[in-house]
């Protein structure tokens, strides 16, 4: 097998537009009448957060090509304009939902954000007190003149631009001033309710400042103003070959991240052309980068409002994960794993079992060494505390800390320093590659000699996200597989050549070619008339060679089912090219995050779990792990719960069309009578034990 099929060329879908299409699907949850109102508001804020990251990470090369009026790789002025038009359309829909659907729906349920014109006298007094006591002391208006040029404005911060009449204290007519709003200030304040009303009233920080803006400029008149927010390029770029200390270099980079290249300017919908043009000039942005919004410029901060409201009826019913069905509370993990492998389907089953596994290892005097990869663990991590405790108990602790985990760099640097301070061995993986594999390896002294136990996962060691991300944890004492994990840790620490592995596949060395070979083998089998099927579940499919390999296999007769939450560049059902390809995206209450690769050829099947999406960066620029599930019962459970359940989802699934559009699987049918994979799995596993 060559591993690289030759297929007729056809157009793949654009990755950036596919990312925006994903956000349209997320935004649909903000529209859904069967979703509680505060949760609908949260989905709207999630879309804003996603768009922020889209600009911070994806838009810089597009804008550079547009400003230079030249082609730069895949990017041109035309691709920038098309992408900008799509984002403007998405933002317009977002604020229409916010103003026309969610605010009225929340008001009906007793929650109201009160504008200045709607406040009664008592509320106006309260707003004035908040401004004078809590807000004004932290504001520092800056009048612009040759001695006070336009100030540095931090990424995604809230600011006001003000136009003034009259002269300043020195008799000068500097008409423009900037007011920065510190991040430390709350974005919403509770107001006294109207007497006899059960409504909960709030005022936003932007409305509060807007009401009292004139008081910041005594003796002058405010003639125009607008809130504004700028989004900047924030993807840290560090030349690892040049720097002597990656941790130090990243710390310096973090200080500069807040002031990277400007990419998007958001202003109030009513901002004058004079003010918006002035800001565009200051940030060197074209008109297409201006977003006029009829509401707060930062819908991400709506989360603060959601958190301030004590109304369980406006939220999802709390879900209590069950204890993993293969585990007995109180039983030793080491004893259990000697009987066979254990699968934990999170968050349907509790991630606490993973912490319990590590806790038992820390407290067991026979455990000699613990090795773990650290990618994203959350701001406060019990896992980190356990690793430090293991060091204090005399165990050998090795942590492979990925310092370049996007937007978690600072937390990971702090964790690395804390672990080093107590004597743990901390390494940062391989130069030029992110270590994205999720591995925990425990070495224990037993009567028959040293024995290894491992935890492998499709997701992060983060108790917070483990409550809302679907992932698979795999506990094993399999000698071949745990030996592979040990070899990977040795490779990451020593930088020596990776030894031949028994079972696991590792990126960037083996995984990409192995997947191409497996797809090609399925295609060859189908061409011989054998039954062949490929079912894949992942977050994104954007690697061109893998996408084209799947298309080629489908042309040979392989039935290809893809469950891809986010961006997917392979169109489904294109006549003559992907007739046998079906692509669905499931967007639900939980964030789909597990990666499962299933190949079935003539009755023989393989199931692989992995930390890797089918993206070029995962396959060729990261250290990723994939491992086979050899236990037939566990393999069938994964197929049933992670693949078949989602292929039959009719409530939360979207189907990709040949032209790149997604249509709901529930189209034309009432959602209350449809099947949800997530709801079924929550009902099956929740709250047991």
pLDDT digits 0-9 by tens, 29-86: 999 999 999 999 999 999 999 999 999 989 999 999 999 888 888 899 999 999 999 9
What is the end-to-end Cα distance of the chain in Å, rounded? 49
Residue 4 is assigned to a structural domain of this protein = no
**Does residue 398 register a pLDDT over 70?**
yes
Pick 373 or 381 by higher pLDDT: 373
Say if residue 109 is in the same domain as residue 224: yes
Distance CA 426, CA 448 (A): 30
> What's the pLDDT at 148?
74
Lowest mean pLDDT among 34-38, 223-227, 326-330, 411-415: 411-415
> What's the pLDDT at 159?
97
Lowest mean pLDDT among 115-124, 146-155, 524-533: 146-155
Binding-site residues from annotation for Mg(2+): 376, 406
Say if residue 487 is in the same domain as residue 526: no
Domain count, the chain: 3
| Residue indicated by tokens 């604020």 | 95
**Does residue 243 register a pLDDT over 50?**
no
| Residue indicated by tokens 């002058």 | 220
Distance CA 347, CA 322 (A): 9
As a whole number, mean pLDDT of residues 373-395 equals: 84
**Does residue 671 register a pLDDT over 60?**
no
Say if residue 517 is in the same domain as residue 491: no
As a whole number, mean pLDDT of residues 680-687 equals: 91
> What's the pLDDT at 410?
64
Domain residues for the domain of 552 are 507-685
- What pTM did the predictor assign? 0.92
Confidence band for 235, pLDDT divided at 50, 70 and 90: low
Say if residue 569 is in the same domain as residue 581: yes
Say if residue 452 is in the same domain as residue 536: no
Residue 7 is assigned to a structural domain of this protein = no
Confidence band for 409, pLDDT divided at 50, 70 and 90: low
Say if residue 531 is in the same domain as residue 447: no
Binding-site residues from annotation: 50, 376, 406, 469, 565, 593
Say if residue 477 is in the same domain as residue 517: no
Distance CA 297, CA 609 (A): 41
Confidence band for 19, pLDDT divided at 50, 70 and 90: very high
Pick 378 or 643 by higher pLDDT: 643
* Chain segment 498-527, per-residue pLDDT in tens: 889 999 999 999 999 999 999 999 999 999
Residue 252 is assigned to a structural domain of this protein = no
The structure tokens listed for 79 are 């691709």
The answer to whether the CB of 341 falls within 8 A of the CB of 476 is yes
As a whole number, mean pLDDT of residues 389-414 equals: 77
As a whole number, mean pLDDT of residues 181-207 equals: 90
- Please provide the average confidence, as pLDDT, over all residues in the chain: 90
Say if residue 499 is in the same domain as residue 513: no
Confidence band for 656, pLDDT divided at 50, 70 and 90: very high
Say if residue 194 is in the same domain as residue 171: yes
**Does residue 260 register a pLDDT over 90?**
no
Say if residue 228 is in the same domain as residue 354: no
Pick 197 or 178 by higher pLDDT: 178
Residue 578 is assigned to a structural domain of this protein = yes
As a whole number, mean pLDDT of residues 132-152 equals: 89
Residue 247 forms beta bridges with which residues? none
Pick 255 or 105 by higher pLDDT: 105
Exposed/middle/buried for residue 654 (C-beta within 10 Å: 0-12, 13-18, 19+): buried
As a whole number, mean pLDDT of residues 277-304 equals: 95
Distance CA 238, CA 256 (A): 12
Residues of the chain above pLDDT 90, percent: 76
Residue 248 is assigned to a structural domain of this protein = no
Last-in-domain residue among 474, 503, 532 = 503
The structure tokens listed for 467 are 């409550």
Last-in-domain residue among 503, 523, 553 = 503
Q: Can you give the CATH number for the domain in which 170 is found?
A: 3.30.1840.10
Residue 376 is assigned to a structural domain of this protein = yes
* Chain segment 604-622, per-residue pLDDT in tens: 999 999 999 999 999 998 8
* Chain segment 332-360, per-residue pLDDT in tens: 999 999 999 999 999 999 999 999 999 99
Q: Can you give the CATH number for the domain in which 392 is found?
A: 3.30.870.10
> What's the pLDDT at 241?
44
Residue 347 is assigned to a structural domain of this protein = yes
| Residue indicated by tokens 């359309």 | 89
Consecutive H or E run containing 81:
helix 77-96
> What's the pLDDT at 374?
85
Q: Chain-centre distance of CA 165, in angstroms?
A: 46
Exposed/middle/buried for residue 168 (C-beta within 10 Å: 0-12, 13-18, 19+): middle
Residue in 418, 421, 426, 434 with CA at minimum distance from that of residue 380: 418
DSSP helix/strand/coil, 112: strand
> What's the pLDDT at 483?
97
For 554, which DSSP code?
H
Say if residue 536 is in the same domain as residue 487: no
> What's the pLDDT at 238?
44
| Residue indicated by tokens 């040293």 | 450
| Residue indicated by tokens 């089953």 | 349
Binding-site residues from annotation for ATP: 50, 469, 565, 593
Residue 450 forms beta bridges with which residues? 445
DSSP helix/strand/coil, 333: helix
> What's the pLDDT at 355?
95
**Does residue 248 register a pLDDT over 70?**
no
* Chain segment 553-590, per-residue pLDDT in tens: 999 999 999 999 999 999 999 999 999 999 999 999 99
Say if residue 624 is in the same domain as residue 492: no
Cite the active site residues: 436
Residue 24 is assigned to a structural domain of this protein = yes
Confidence band for 688, pLDDT divided at 50, 70 and 90: very low
């Amino acid at each position: 097998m060559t591993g690289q099929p030759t297929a007729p060329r056809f157009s793949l879908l654009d990755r950036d537009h596919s990312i925006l299409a994903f956000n349209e699907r997320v935004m649909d949850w903000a529209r859904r009448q069967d979703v509680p109102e505060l949760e609908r508001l949260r989905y709207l804020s999630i879309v804003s957060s996603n768009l922020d990251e889209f600009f911070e990470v994806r838009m810089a090369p597009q804008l550079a090509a547009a400003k230079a009026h030249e082609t730069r790789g895949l990017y041109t002025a035309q691709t920038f304009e098309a992408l900008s038009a799509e984002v403007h359309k998405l933002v317009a829909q977002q604020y229409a939902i916010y103003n026309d659907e969610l605010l009225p729906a929340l008001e009906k349920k007793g929650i109201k954000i009160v504008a200045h014109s709607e406040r009664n006298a008592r509320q106006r007094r309260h707003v004035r007190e908040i401004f004078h006591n809590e807000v004004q002391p932290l504001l520092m208006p800056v009048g612009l003149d040759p001695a006070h040029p336009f100030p540095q404005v931090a990424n995604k911060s809230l600011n006001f631009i003000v136009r003034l009449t009259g002269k300043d204290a020195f008799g000068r007519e500097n008409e423009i001033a900037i007011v920065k709003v510190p991040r430390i200030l709350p974005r919403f304040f509770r107001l006294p309710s109207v007497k006899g009303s059960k409504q909960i009233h709030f005022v936003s920080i932007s409305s509060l400042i807007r009401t009292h803006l004139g008081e910041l400029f005594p003796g002058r008149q405010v003639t125009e103003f607008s809130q504004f927010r700028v989004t900047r390029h924030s993807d840290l770029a560090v030349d690892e070959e040049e720097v002597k200390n990656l941790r130090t270099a990243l710390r310096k980079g973090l200080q500069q991240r807040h002031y990277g290249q400007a990419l998007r300017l958001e202003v109030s919908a009513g901002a004058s052309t004079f003010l918006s043009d002035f800001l565009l000039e200051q940030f060197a942005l074209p008109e297409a980068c201006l977003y006029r919004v009829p509401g707060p410029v930062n819908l991400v901060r709506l989360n603060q409002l959601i958190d301030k409201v004590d109304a369980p009826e406006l939220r999802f019913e709390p879900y209590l994960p069950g204890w993993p069905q293969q585990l007995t509370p109180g039983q030793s993990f080491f004893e259990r794993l000697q009987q066979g492998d254990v699968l934990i389907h999170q968050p349907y089953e509790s991630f606490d079992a993973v912490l319990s596994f590590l806790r038992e290892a820390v407290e067991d005097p026979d455990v000699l060494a613990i090795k773990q990869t650290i990618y994203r663990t959350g701001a406060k991590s019990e896992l980190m505390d356990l690793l430090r405790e293991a060091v204090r108990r005399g165990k050998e602790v090795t942590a492979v800390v990925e310092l370049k985990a996007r937007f978690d760099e600072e937390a990971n640097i702090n964790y690395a320093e804390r672990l080093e301070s107590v004597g743990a061995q901390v390494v940062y993986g391989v130069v030029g590659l992110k270590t994205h594999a999720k591995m925990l390896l425990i070495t224990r002294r037993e009567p028959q000699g040293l024995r290894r136990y491992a935890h492998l996962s499709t997701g992060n060691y983060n108790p917070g996200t483990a409550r809302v991300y679907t992932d698979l944890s795999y506990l094993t004492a399999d000698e071949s597989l745990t030996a592979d994990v040990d070899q990977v840790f040795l490779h990451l620490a020593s930088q020596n050549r990776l030894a031949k592995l028994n079972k696991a596949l590792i990126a960037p060395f083996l995984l990409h070619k192995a997947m191409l070979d497996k797809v090609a083998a399925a295609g060859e089998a189908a061409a011989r008339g054998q039954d062949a099927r490929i079912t894949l579940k992942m977050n994104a499919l954007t690697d061109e060679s893998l996408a084209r390999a799947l298309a080629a296999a489908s042309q040979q007769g392989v039935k290809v089912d893809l469950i891809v939450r986010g961006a997917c560049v392979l169109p489904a059902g294109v006549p003559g090219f992907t007739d046998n390809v079906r692509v669905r995206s499931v967007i639900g209450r939980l964030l789909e995050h597990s990666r499962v690769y299933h190949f079935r050829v003539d009755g023989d099947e393989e199931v692989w779990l992995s930390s890797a999406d089918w993206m070029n960066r995962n396959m060729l620029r990261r250290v990723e792990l994939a491992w086979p599930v050899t236990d037939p019962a566990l393999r069938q459970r994964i197929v049933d719960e992670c693949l078949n359940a989602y292929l039959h989802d009719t409530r939360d699934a979207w189907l990709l069309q040949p032209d790149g559009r997604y249509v709901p699987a529930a189209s034309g049918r009432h959602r209350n009578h449809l099947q949800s994979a997530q709801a079924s799995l929550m009902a099956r596993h929740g709250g047991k034990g």
